[in-house]
Amino acid sequence: MIRLFQKLPLSFFDKDKRPYGLLSILMFAAVGLTLLPAIVVASSLFEPSFEVWAHLWDTILPQMLLNTFTLLISVSVGTLVIGTTLAWLVTAYEFPGKKTFKWLLVLPMAIPAYVMGFLYMSMFDFAGPFQTFFRNTVGWQGTFPQIRSGFGAIVVMTLVLYPYVYMLAKAGFEGQSASAFEAAKVLGASKLKTFFKVALPLARPSIAAGVALAAMETLADFATVRYFNFPTVADGILRVWHGLMDLGAASEMAGMLAFFSLLVLLSEQRLRSGKAYHQTKGKNQGVPPIFLSGSKGLIASFICGTVFFAAFGLPVLQLLYWAILEISEITPHALAVYGRLAFRSLSVSAIAAFFTVFVALFIASISRLGTGKFSRYLAKASTVGYSIPGAVIGVGILIPLSALDRYIINIAGNLWGIDLGLIFTGSLIGLVYAYVVRFMAIAYGSVDSSMDKIPPNTVLAARMLGANAFRIIFKIKLPLILPGIIAGAVLVFVDVMKELPITVVLRPMSYDTLAIWVWQMAAESLWTDTALPALAIVLVGILPVWILMRKSKND
Amino acid sequence: MSNDFVVLKGIVKRYKDITAVNDFDINVSKGEFFSLLGPSGCGKTTTLRLIAGLDCLSGGSISIDGRLVSDPTFFIPPEKREIGIVFQDYALFPHMTVFENVAFGLYGQKKNQVKNRVNELLFLTGLNGMDKKYPHELSGGQRQRVALARSLAPAPKVMLLDEPFSNLDAELRESLRNETKQILKKSDTTVILVTHDQEEAFSLSDKVGVLNEGKLEQVGTPYEVYHNPSSRFVADFVGKADFVAAITEGDYVVSKVGRFQNNKNYCLNVSNVELMIRPDDVTIEADSNGEAIIEDMLFLGSDVLYKLRLADNITIHSIGLSAFPLAKGTRVNVSIHMPHTVFFPVSE
């Protein structure tokens, strides 16, 4: 023991003499656990049960595959067009209200698709206020396009997910050097040509990343498509699991969905690479915005305003309307239910955020002790969960954990004759584990980049001033990375609160959260019952938008 | 005894296939200001890191104040070496005030003591009244002084300065250089400075060690290093020099620009040598019958650098005052007075 303490200051800092054994094992264990669900699902693909496949193929599978593919392509194109257009408008032009729209246009991200979905359905369905108004007041006799369809799902998903493309495209445009545009102008290129030949290619990597994020979310969603009766593979996983209780079949469908997200990742890589664009160094203040006067300016404002109204204003107004109805006749019982939901959502999100950031901090720190690139790759591997749809992670965790639970029950029953119950799948352990895997990338990214920003000499300077490892960690390192830790925790907290597929698959029996409640009530068309929980989710969802806004203002 | 406060003995540092520091000795006496001078990649920063304990030795040993601090099998960690360091980027703690920065190394002392010591240093470095400011509120020069005060606070046995002036603009650099020298002299600290700037090394140091490709080329006073360089590299790297073909003849070195006493008493087996001529050894005088012509003239401010072409196409440089410069094309008489005759065997 004394030996250990004597060696600690040296071994902790000195790359040659670090206690690699234990830390390496812990590192491999942490990364291994984050990869486990993906491995479980992938391995189920290698031993397909042909009966299951034959059955699926004869029944729902072809339709689901077609739907998934249609939705994926349409939402990608839709978010690409809307997100890029809006981003170009607010960076390249000056028009009334532009500064405000710049931020308002991010807000729709705060509304989860499964909330937006039922709001649009309630408003535009046959019995909704929109059609009723046209039938009764205007006297319209014709038919409206069926909202409960693939079309409805595409519209809703596009409206919810375009902010990903918008934000990244905006960053891409803003980072471009003004000189490239001036050069194009001097060479006599028209505005349209400048956009397609200069701005768009330069921003292509950012835009590709944005579309890929939107596509991933599209694949992960199961609730929205279910409202609109447009079943996709993600929906299929849950149907097979809940309906047939067939974990094997669910896992094979999960493998299929994972294959889709791999496809998205690969096409993103393809779109990003091929040509490498290096921005010339210097001041990259982006394009000098052109002032749009008179009617042109108003048209620009109108376009931004319309998208914002459709994607945020209208649904939030509808939610507020129901919320007021609900509050006006709230019962103590309902209040207690809401309280319970809120407490569960907040506490499970906080627990998940804590563990995710803790593991991210651990992995990021340990990977820095290594000298080679291997430890960095290993750390990066732990973030793979973000590109795996929630339902896939859910199934990938459910399979090993329920096996473990059965094993423990058998052992305990045989040896001591007691029933320990479902330790992992019956408690929050499995659920939190899944959240950690799914959102590790967010926490890791935040923590890692804040660690990167610590100048290495700062730590050396502290050492030279006689500080021991303990003081360096608590007085220098932690205070410097604290903003990154907090930002990471908040982002994970919000995402966990919104996350539906993982919660649906792994929650303990009758464990309702706000998200679960909203989804269940919406599926039953009990609109006013959804209003307050949904509003709470949206409000919490605004938090990261606000953080992003502040961050970009500081930079 | 006083000559061996910091002792580097046969130090070697090897990275995979590069030998960054290749077996040399340096002794620095107590209170001395020593500079390690050399081009980038010469091993000077590695040497500094070895002394600080931020790297381990592959061979040789380092001792400070009679105590072994590092050899290949033994290592005192940097936090136990009582060494102060000022980094090129200062490495101030951005989340702490000036006071907290300076007080960081005084951990464990009584509050009153800390306060007095910090105030004393802030006064010494001319930072009084800045104690509540954060690093990002300070100018570059102020940051550098905070870094200096911070590393001086625990009264280290040795101060290491890693190119501490290179991030400052020219004017500030000069004034801060003098100031730093005064501050360090007052605190009677032994200082080792790393720099690639010979002017900086000369104006600050008692002694200079010139490094090249991991080898120590020469140690001496600035005067010795400049006027009596021990190798062709030192002659070239430190200041401007022309080299003229010459041969040794007994006690003399004979070249086309003149015949000079071999006061270095080289017993060279080679007879073909290169004679070093510094621009400040050469004076010129306008003379329409002069043997040389001013081929080019470079105006440097207080000085003028002339490029002279002599007979047989020999080119040498001369430095003169800039108040009444001679024009390009002027014929001149050249006289060369050298305090030391420095020459090197012709390199193959």
Domain ranges of chain A: 1-47+337-555, 62-313
Do residues B219 and B272 both lie within one domain? no
Count of domains observed in chain B: 2
This prediction has a pTM of 0.80
Phi, psi of A543 (to 5 degrees): -50, -55
Do residues B192 and B247 both lie within one domain? no
Q: By the CB < 8 Å criterion, does B78 face chain A?
A: yes
Predicted confidence (pLDDT) per residue in B223-258, tens digit: 999 988 988 899 989 988 999 988 888 788 888 888
Q: What is the spatial distance between Cα A110 and Cα A498, in angstroms, rounded to a whole number?
A: 9
Are the Cβ atoms of B77 and A10 closer than 8 angstroms?
yes
Q: By the CB < 8 Å criterion, does B134 face chain A?
A: no
Do residues B221 and B249 both lie within one domain? no
Phi, psi of A365 (to 5 degrees): -70, -50
Positive or negative, the CA dihedral B28, B33, B34, B36 is positive
Q: Does A108 score more than 90 pLDDT? A: yes
- Among the four given CATH numbers 3.40.50.2300, 1.10.3720.10, 3.20.20.70, 1.10.10.60, the one describing domain A62-313: 1.10.3720.10
Positive or negative, the CA dihedral A368, A371, A376, A379 is negative
Are the Cβ atoms of A479 and B95 closer than 8 angstroms?
yes
3 state DSSP class of B244: strand
Closest CA of chain B from A480, distance in Å: 7
Minimal-distance CA residue of chain B relative to A481: B95
Q: What is the ipTM, given to two decimal places? A: 0.81
Do residues B26 and B147 both lie within one domain? yes
Do residues B211 and B294 both lie within one domain? no
What is the identity of the amino acid at A376? R
Q: What is the spatial distance between Cα B280 and Cα B266, in angstroms, rounded to a whole number?
A: 24
Which tokens belong to A396? 């990938």
How many CA atoms does the CB half-sphere of A512 hold within 13 Å?
13
Predicted confidence (pLDDT) per residue in A346-388, tens digit: 999 999 999 999 999 999 888 877 666 777 888 888 888 888 8
Among candidates A261, A304, A460, A362, which has minimal Cα distance to A25? Answer: A362
Predicted confidence (pLDDT) per residue in A429-447, tens digit: 999 999 999 999 999 998 9
Closest CA of chain A from B75, distance in Å: 9
Q: Assess if residue B45 is contained within a domain.
A: yes
Q: What is the spatial distance between Cα A226 and Cα A234, in angstroms, rounded to a whole number?
A: 10
pLDDT of residue A47: 72
Do residues B119 and B155 both lie within one domain? yes
Q: What is the spatial distance between Cα B208 and Cα B32, in angstroms, rounded to a whole number?
A: 11
Best of A465, A471, A478 to substitute, by most chain B Cβ atoms within 10 angstroms, is: A465
Interface of B with A in 154-193 (CB under 8 A): 154
Do residues B227 and B323 both lie within one domain? no
Q: What is the spatial distance between Cα B30 and Cα B3, in angstroms, rounded to a whole number?
A: 7
Confidence grade of residue A12 (pLDDT, cut at 50, 70, 90): very low
Q: Same fold for the domain at A1-47+337-555 and the one at A62-313?
A: yes
Are the Cβ atoms of B105 and A480 closer than 8 angstroms?
no
Among candidates B149, B200, B181, B170, which has minimal Cα distance to B44? Answer: B200
- Domain that includes residue B163, residue range: 6-232
Residues composing chain B: 348
Cβ burial, residue A404 (10 Å; 0-12/13-18/19+): middle
> If you average pLDDT over residues B282-305, what whole number do you get?
90
Closest CA of chain B from A481, distance in Å: 11
Q: Count other Cβ atoms within 10 Å, centred on residue A325.
A: 13
What is the identity of the amino acid at B81? R
> Where a domain ends, among B216, B232, B248?
B232
> Where a domain ends, among B201, B232, B263?
B232
pLDDT of residue B257: 86
Interface residues of A toward B, Cβ cutoff 8 Å, are 9-10, 13-14, 16, 455, 457-458, 460-468, 471, 475-476, 479-480
Q: By the CB < 8 Å criterion, does B25 face chain A?
A: no
Q: Does A424 score more than 90 pLDDT? A: no
pLDDT of residue A371: 63
Do residues B315 and B260 both lie within one domain? yes
Do residues B210 and B168 both lie within one domain? yes
3 state DSSP class of B230: coil
Stretch among A142-156, A297-311, A396-410, B50-64 having the lowest mean pLDDT: A142-156
Minimal-distance CA residue of chain A relative to B104: A465
Q: Does B220 score more than 70 pLDDT? A: yes
Closest CA of chain B from A494, distance in Å: 28
Q: Count other Cβ atoms within 10 Å, centred on residue B159.
A: 21
Minimal-distance CA residue of chain A relative to B76: A10
> Where a domain ends, among B190, B215, B232?
B232
Do residues B308 and B183 both lie within one domain? no
pLDDT of residue B17: 84
Q: Assess if residue B58 is contained within a domain.
A: yes
Residue B304 sits at the vertex; the CA angle it makes with B300 and B306, to the nearest 5 degrees, is 125
3 state DSSP class of B33: strand
Q: Assess if residue B1 is contained within a domain.
A: no
**Cα separations (Å) of A282 from A92, B7, B231?**
20, 46, 42
Phi, psi of B188 (to 5 degrees): 55, 45
Best of B64, B101, B104, B144 to substitute, by most chain A Cβ atoms within 10 angstroms, is: B104
| CATH topology for the A1-47+337-555 domain | MetI-like fold (1.10.3720)
Do residues B204 and B270 both lie within one domain? no
Predicted confidence (pLDDT) per residue in A381-402, tens digit: 888 888 889 989 999 999 899 8
CATH number, domain containing residue B143: 3.40.50.300
Give me the sheet containing B158-162, strands edge to edge.
Answer: B83-86, B158-162, B190-195, B33-37, B207-212, B215-220
Q: What is the spatial distance between Cα A520 and Cα A531, in angstroms, rounded to a whole number?
A: 12
H-helix or E-strand spanning residue A131: helix A129-133
Q: By the CB < 8 Å criterion, does B77 face chain A?
A: yes
Do residues B104 and B126 both lie within one domain? yes
pLDDT of residue B1: 45
Best of B86, B93, B194 to substitute, by most chain A Cβ atoms within 10 angstroms, is: B93
Which tokens belong to B305? 């650098």
Give me the sheet containing B303-309, strands edge to edge.
Answer: B282-286, B331-336, B292-299, B303-309, B315-321
Are the Cβ atoms of A462 and B93 closer than 8 angstroms?
yes
pLDDT of residue A482: 92
